[in-house]
Structure 1
Amino acid sequence: MATVEAAGVRAPAWRGGFGRLWSAAVVSRFGDALRTAALPLLAVRLTDDPLVIASVTACGYLPWLLFGLLGGAVADRVDQRRAMWAVDTVRGGLVACFALAVGLGHATIGLLIALAFALTTLQTLFDNASTALLPSLVGKETLGSANARLMTGQQLAGGFLAGPFVPLLLALGAAAPFAADAVTYLLAAALVASLRIRAPEREPRPAGSTLRAEVAEGVRTLWHDRVLRAVCTATLLCNIGMGALIATLVLHVTGWLHAGNAGFAAAMTAYSAGSLAGGGPAQWIARRIGGVRSLFLGGCVQTAALVLLGTVRHLGALLAGMALLGLMGMVWNVNQVTLMQQRSPAAMVGRVSSAFRTASTSGAPVGALLGGTVAGAYGLNGPALFAAVLFGLAVASLIPAHLPDVSVVEPDDGATTAHVKP
């Protein structure tokens, strides 16, 4: 594993596999953004039932709740590199078949919902395997920088580069974005398959060990780690708040601010720009104040940004608040993932990751429902203030993680991780 020194920060070298993994992640995110933009446009051509259209989005969350923990357990059992390229190959085939159905005029809303559900189900294995594989490529001392580069590249590809291509592809036909997505899946699979790394050594599983027992072991490890438990709780609260805000943001912008569709587009652009800018300082902040303190800082700034959004009726305040939310959201995400990778036993990263993701992801759909309720009861700016309260609670929930660090011990098997500065 090669590293380089960049401005006093140890960063992963592009050679040795990280560059190919980064390229695969960026290419795949580019294709995902094309498909995500095309799905609702296709859905409204197939049905005008709001509940049915919303179910397409719901299928993007449901598999994480149903299969997220199982995906983490499988990721810890198998060769993660092979699992990743195999999953992307299958996903590429599924999207290619769907593109063909769209091109031939055989697409239905049921087929679209089935595709969304299948892709996200496969993603539960892919994402957990990817999280577990990264430490094998770059080493713990450069995990933060590697995560920052991965997330920044994905944000650039999905948030900016894909946007201009969507109308161009749609001009070629409704099937074009899906065909392009299939190509990116297959290209990403080829890049991951070309990685030449030695699979991490694992201790033999106890006789009679089951997936259910291994899933439970991952959940217990997350629960018994004081820092990860606090960070997971805080992330869940933040996701509920962001779910409430994002689900009602178009109403906030067009109804409360009267800024129209252009204002909504500007808000989303400001958020993407902030996210892109946050990748750089994420590790710089963590190296100076620590991983947990960087989350604490990010949560405080985001709380203030949400208060700004909910109280100042001006487009400039909206853009500033959204940019701050994106910037500090990236700082949060990079350091949250890095802490989880550093503090998890090497043989359990997939299971701890899946437990963390499943718990925190469940907050988004709950938040979306609560956001609609709050907007109806207290006004269109209510969800922003509701989210501010939840972010404030998230910051408070991080306080136990500031206590002096201790060894992380799994009580059932005695496995101990290294001491990591919060």
Structure 2
Amino acid sequence: MPAVEAVRSQAPSWRGGFGRLWTAAVVSRFGDALRIAALPLLAASLTDKPLLVALVTASGYLPWILFGLVGGAVADRVDQRRAMWVVDLVRGLLLAAFAVAVAQGAATIGLLIVLAFALTTLQTLFDNAATALLPALVDAGGLGSANARLQTGQQVAGAFLATPLVPVLLALGAAMPYAADAATYLLAAALIASLPVSASRAGARGGLHGTLRADIAEGLRVLWRDRTLRGLCVATTLCNIGIGGLIATLVLLVTGRLGGSETAYALCLSAYGVGSVVGGFCASRVERRLGRIRSVFLAGSVQIVPLLVIGTAHSVRAVAASFVVFGFMGMVWNVNQVTLMQQRAPVAMLGRISAAFRTLSLGGAPLGALLGGALAAAWGLNTPALFAAALFVLAVAALLPALKSAATCP
């Protein structure tokens, strides 16, 4: 496996298709944030049964567990550019139809569950295809910076532009957030369809003629045999279990143990968003100084400290400040982890390896949520944060073989 640490970082060119892919990703995230914020409110207005409301959220995770690996295998077989714009077109039409149903008062809780499940099922193909297509649009040296710009732009669009707009759109009509989301999907589909045909051909992974099961198994074998990718995957899964437990119980920690208000809870979430955006701007600089795997190792190590503070703090301000640091280092981790995966994975297996990462990561989050709830009930509301810190210690330990490998690279 070639040493990817030696690849010199540079800014990606906005030409050649990256600018259009970035715009499509940011526009889609803006629309998704509108829908994600509005959907629980709509669900709560349709039923007073907590289980049914929770099922709407759960339906947004379940397809990754069921179909995530399949979506990666399909992404390696098809023309990725075409798959992406077709998926966005279908999602746009589904959202438009749903917006009409909401406007006419025909929405039901069952329809919300089906919609959430269908959108995420389509997303398993789209996200894996997008991860595999990006290296065809950006030079190797610009891949890290491209990932940083993509993730930062999406964070800004979702957390700071879309979420505050939701009450305004709801004041205009209950269907408006979904109509806006439909429009963003259709615009993104048009942008992706306009990408250069050369990128489309580079992204197509023809030549896979076995069964999907065989393709998935082959991708998992390659992932496990690569020391760096295996360490990253194990570490990311452990971190997401911890984060799932922390986020699931955070509102109880802030409003219960710390005696804060709902505004204080929102402040903590906003602090995380601010840290993530700043981390996105700084991720490439950190990588240039340390290298990619060392940047991930540093990020995971530093994140242990704010988790310990969150688990022992007695003020909302301390928790909010900790979330700034946690978000900053989380973005440094995410950018470099994705870039390492894109650089080290065989070109023909990018979709499957990306799917393995996402499936394990997103599967870890609901598991962590359940564990966090049980720990909080048994030993106190601060326990999930301390549990997350312990998992981050294990995650950093899982990265040690990859770190040693990077130290021996010329």
Q: Which residue of 2 aligns with 1:36?
A: 36
Partner of 1:186: 186
Amino acid at match of 2:56: V
Amino acid at match of 1:245: L
Tell me the residue number matched to 1:284.
285
The alpha carbon displacement at 1:258 in A equals: 0.6
- What does residue 157 of structure 1 align with? 157
Residues 285-313 of structure 1, C-alpha deviations (whole Å, 9 max, x = no match) = 11221211111111111110000011121
Match of 2:4 in 1: none
Partner of 2:297: 296
What residue is the counterpart of 2:106 in the other structure? Answer: 106
When the two structures are superposed, what TM-score results if normalisation uses the length of structure 2?
Answer: 0.95
Q: Is the 8 Å Cα contact of residues 34 and 177 (structure 1) preserved in structure 2? A: yes
Deviation at 1:197, TM superposition (A): 3.5
Uncovered stretches (5+) of structure 1, i.e. residues with no partner: 1-7, 407-419
Say if 1:251 and 1:329 are closer, same or farther in 2 by CA, change over 3 A.
same
Which residue identity does 1:305 align to in structure 2?
A: P
Determine if the alignment matches structure 1 residue 175 to structure 2 residue 175. Answer: yes
CA distances 1:268-296 after superposition (whole Å, capped 9, x unpaired):
11000000000122121112212111111
The alpha-carbon deviation at position 164 of structure 1 amounts to 2.1
Equivalence for 2:267: 266
Mapping for residues 374-385 of structure 1, pairs under 5 Å: 374-385=375-386
Q: Secondary structure at the match of 1:37?
A: helix
Mark the runs of 5 or more structure 2 residues left unpaired by the alignment: 1-7
Q: Distance in 2 between matches of 1:197 and 1:328?
A: 36
Match of 1:320 in 2: 321
CA contact (8 A) 1:233 1:360 kept: no
**Contact preservation (8 Å) 1:290, 1:421:** no
Which one-letter code corresponds to 2:153 in the other structure?
Answer: G
Query: Which residue of the partner structure matches residue 89 of structure 1?
Result: 89
1:202 Cα shift?
Answer: 6.7
| Mapped contact 1:298–1:329 kept (Cα < 8 A) | yes
Count of aligned pairs? 401
Match of 1:200 in 2: 202
What secondary structure sits across from 2:405 in the alignment? coil
SS at match of 2:10: strand
1:216 equivalent in structure 2: 217
Aligned residue number for residue 411 of structure 1 = none
Structure 2: distance between partners of 1:186 and 1:334: 27
> Which is helix-richer, 1 or 2?
2
CA distance in 2: counterparts of 1:235 and 1:421, whole angstroms: 23
Q: What SS class does the counterpart of residue 14 from structure 1 fall into?
A: coil
> Which amino acid is 1:171 matched to?
A
Shift of 1:332: 0.5
* Pair 421,202 (structure 1): closer, same or farther in 2 beyond 3 Å: farther
Inter-partner Cα distance in structure 2 for 1:388 and 1:50: 30
Could you tell me how far apart the structure 1 residues matched to 2:217 and 2:207 are?
14
Partner of 1:124: 124
Structure 2 CA distance for aligned equivalents of residues 157 and 59 of structure 1: 24
C-alpha distance in 1 between matches for 2:406 and 2:273? 35
Q: For residues 215-235 of structure 1, what are the alpha-carbon distances to aligned partners after superposition, in whole Å with 9 as ceiling and x for unaligned?
A: 111111111111000010000
Asked whether the 8 Å contact 2:136–2:203 carries over to 1, the reply is no
Q: In structure 2, what is the Cα distance between the partners aligned to 1:314 and 1:341?
A: 41
| Alpha-carbon separation, structure 2, partners of 1:203 and 1:66 | 23
Deviation >6 Å, runs of 4+: none
Give the counterpart letter for 1:239 in structure 2: N
Structure 1 residues 49-88: aligned runs within 5 Å: 49-88=49-88
Structure with the larger RCO, 1 or 2 (CA within 8 Å, 6+ apart): 2
Measured after TM superposition, the shift of residue 331 of structure 1 is: 0.4
For residues 266 and 201 of structure 1, what CA distance do their matches in structure 2 show? Answer: 41
Question: Which whole-Å CA distance do the structure 1 matches of 2:203 and 2:28 have between them?
Answer: 28
Q: Structure 2 CA distance, aligned partners of 1:247 and 1:300?
A: 22
Provide the secondary structure at the position in 1 that maps to 2:11: strand
Once residues 359 and 309 of structure 1 are traced to their aligned partners in structure 2, the CA distance between those partners, rounded to angstroms, is 25
The two structures have a TM-score, normalised by structure 1, of 0.92
Q: Which residue is 1:395 aligned to? A: 396
1:190 & 1:204 partners in 2: Cα distance?
Answer: 24
Q: Amino acid of the residue matched to residue 195 of structure 2?
A: L
Contact 1:226–1:401 (CA<8 Å) still a contact in 2?
yes
Bigger shift: residues 16-25 or 208-217: 208-217
Q: State the AA in 1 paired with 2:123.
A: Q
The equivalent residue for 2:5 is none
- Provide Cα deviations, 1:360-412, integer angstroms capped at 9, x if missing partner: 22100000000100110011111111111111111111111123359xxxxxx
- Deviation of 1:139 (Å): 2.0
Counterpart position of 1:5: none
Show the counterpart of 1:232: 233
1:421 Cα deviation (Å)?
5.9
Deviation string, structure 1 residues 7-52 (Cα, Å, up to 9, x no partner): x951111111110000000000000000000000000001111111
